[in-house]
Amino acid sequence: MIRRGATGRIVAEFSFINVTHHECRLFGYPGASAFAATGARIRLHVSPDALRPDHRVVLAPRRGARFLFQTWDRAAGGPCHTSAILRFIPPGDSGYEQIRHRQLMCRGLATVTAVGVT
- With CA atoms as reference, report the closest residue to 81 among 32, 110, 43: 43
With b for 16 or more beta-carbon neighbours within 10 A and e for fewer, the 48-57 pattern comes to ebeeeebeeb
CATH class of 2-117: mainly beta
CA distance 64 to 14: 9
Tens of pLDDT, residue by residue, the chain (118 residues): 555 655 688 999 999 999 999 999 999 999 999 999 999 999 999 999 877 778 889 999 999 999 999 999 887 777 899 999 999 999 989 899 999 999 999 999 999 999 997 5
Residue 54: what pLDDT? 80
Residue 111: what pLDDT? 94
